[in-house]
Structure 1
Amino acid sequence: MKKGKACIGTSGFTYKHWGDGVFYPGELSKSKWLEYYSQFLKSVELNVSFYRLPSENAFKNWYRQTPDDFSFAVKGSRFITHIKRLNEVEASLKLFLGRAKFLKEKLSIVLWQLPPTFTIHIDRLFNFVSLLRKLSTIPFVFEFRNESWFCEDVYRILENAHIAVCIADFPKFTGHTPIVTDFVYLRHHRAKQYSHKNCYSDDELQTDSKRIKAWLKEGKDVFVYFNNDEAGYAVNNAITLSKLIQKDIERNSNSNT
């Protein structure tokens, strides 16, 4: 059985408070931040694409600034998810996906995050998912912020389209997230206190690494992104988790030689 691949990083990389030595050296130009980031982590979730559509040159530059084994998750436009709420979005979706394609083979997945006030709308979801599959074969994942979406009808639509349900660590959604594809997508918000200001402990990361390694052994690709950006916690947690996973991979490789 093919072993899965782990893509671990942070939700965004351009936080001002990561400068001045918190993560990025103080003298490092912001234009070099992604290049520096990619020395420590091999994936990033682009959040800027949620707020505005980056230019063609922006995507091309991100591609050029990263090594061959780097990957990008791209967060879908809030115009599509929050304003239009998945309705009548074909033109906007074509524009968005067409722009993201400038990441070429480094584009690994697109995340669609629905707002907390958007309650379940099966017909709208079905039509949007059908449109996604009409336009692209890349992996997609949905992060639901309203409990009404966590039901079998939704899971069936996504599973049939090979689209994942994001596992986000919001307490009220604990235990509600099934794995309906051969890949897993985790977003770590440090949400026990509904805050981005908390660092995950070593014990929590060890526990996380165990379930990730189990999924990898099952052949599932696993995407993990940390969103607790305050004080650089996200990047430190991501680096620690990445090292834990890599250490286990190397240990297993040595035991098989």
Structure 2
Amino acid sequence: MASNRSMNHLRIGTAGWSIPKQYLDVPPQGTHLNRYSQIFNCAEINSSFYRSHRLSTWAKWADSVPEDFQFSVKAPKAITHDAKLACEPAQLQIFLAEANTLAQRLGPILFQLPPSSAFNPAVAKAFFARLRDLHQGAIVFEPRHSTWFVSEADYLLNSFSISRVAADPAHVPAAAQAAGWSQLIYCRLHGSPHTYYSAYPESYLRSLAAAIVAHKTRETWCVFDNTASGAAFGDAQILQRLLSAA
């Protein structure tokens, strides 16, 4: 873990910070977040997708983790799914004000689009421009409709310094590869073949570790979202161990 924490470009963690019962070797004292943050150096906040949180809650999260820990934050479904990016400016402003309460512990803002949300160049450009007026930090997009995986969309993402998620399983083959702004690689690993449940075989994690080492000059996040069975925690630990030995 010391090696992992010294690699400032690399962050490994899970969606949320639950610690499954089968992992008894974690630090025994403190809240789940306190204990989790002694093992991993990032977590993805998914609850923000479903509901707003008090500013005091965001501040409490930030105060519960070490200085080198960061959170990525998933944008509300009201923006990505209901409004399909054509949201009211106030919706975006309120969400960003909440997320920015994390201060220096705020990492990328994640926008996951529904599979039905096709690439609309005019809507996307307007949203990206509004978003960049309000937020200069890291932004990652996880589109799932095939129309997003074209050169026009990639060019638009890159022009606003927005990275496209590398996802597994990939809804289309190109979704497995990161694109857009190349200085941030954000991998979301949902579990395969049973999404949200399946653990990854070590052979897959070894291949992932090799790919990360090959791009070691870029900031890289690997977030395991196969949390339904508790597999994410173990997979993240294995990847961490593989990279520490690399």
TM-score by length of 2: 0.90
Q: Percent identity?
A: 28
2:16 matched to 1:12? yes
Q: CA deviation at 1:203?
A: 1.3
Q: CA deviation at 1:178?
A: 4.6
Separation (CA, whole Å) in 2 of partners of 1:66 and 1:172: 34
Larger helix share, 1 or 2: 1
Contact 1:4 1:215 (8 Å CA) reproduced: no
Separation (CA, whole Å) in 1 of partners of 2:173 and 2:102: 33
Partner of 2:125: 126
Letter in 2 for 1:89: E
Q: CA deviation at 1:36?
A: 0.7
Separation (CA, whole Å) in 1 of partners of 2:88 and 2:42: 28
Separation (CA, whole Å) in 2 of partners of 1:35 and 1:41: 10
Contact 2:178 2:186 (8 Å CA) reproduced: no
Partner of 2:111: 112
- Deviating more after overlay: 166-175 vs 109-118: 166-175
Partner of 2:98: 99
After superposition, what is the alpha-carbon deviation per residue over 1:74-117, rounded to whole angstroms, capped at 9, x for unaligned? Answer: 00111100111111331011110111111111101100000011
After superposition, what is the alpha-carbon deviation per residue over 1:123-152, rounded to whole angstroms, capped at 9, x for unaligned? Answer: 111011001111111010100111111111
Separation (CA, whole Å) in 1 of partners of 2:36 and 2:205: 20
Separation (CA, whole Å) in 2 of partners of 1:23 and 1:56: 31
TM-score by length of 1: 0.86
Contact 1:170 1:194 (8 Å CA) reproduced: no
Letter in 1 for 2:93: K
- Deviating more after overlay: 170-179 vs 39-48: 170-179
Number of residue pairs the alignment of both structures matches: 237
Contact 2:144 2:171 (8 Å CA) reproduced: no
Letter in 2 for 1:243: R
Separation (CA, whole Å) in 2 of partners of 1:195 and 1:179: 22
Contact 1:196 1:228 (8 Å CA) reproduced: yes
Q: Secondary structure at the match of 1:168?
A: strand
Contact 2:62 2:105 (8 Å CA) reproduced: yes
Q: 1:98 to 1:41 in 2, by over 3 A?
A: same
Contact 1:8 1:242 (8 Å CA) reproduced: yes
2:187 matched to 1:186? yes
Contact 1:169 1:188 (8 Å CA) reproduced: yes
Q: Which runs of 5+ in 1 are unaligned?
A: 249-257
Contact 1:4 1:222 (8 Å CA) reproduced: no
Q: 1:94 to 1:213 in 2, by over 3 A?
A: same
Separation (CA, whole Å) in 1 of partners of 2:92 and 2:114: 18
Q: How well do the aligned residues superpose, as a CA RMSD in angstroms? A: 2.0
- Deviating more after overlay: 175-184 vs 69-78: 175-184
Separation (CA, whole Å) in 1 of partners of 2:128 and 2:51: 22
Separation (CA, whole Å) in 1 of partners of 2:23 and 2:80: 32
Contact 1:226 1:237 (8 Å CA) reproduced: yes
Q: Which runs of 5+ in 2 are unaligned?
A: 1-6
Contact 2:70 2:106 (8 Å CA) reproduced: yes
Contact 2:118 2:147 (8 Å CA) reproduced: yes
Partner of 1:232: 230
Partner of 1:214: 214
Separation (CA, whole Å) in 1 of partners of 2:88 and 2:235: 36
Q: 1:132 to 1:24 in 2, by over 3 A?
A: farther
2:220 matched to 1:247? no
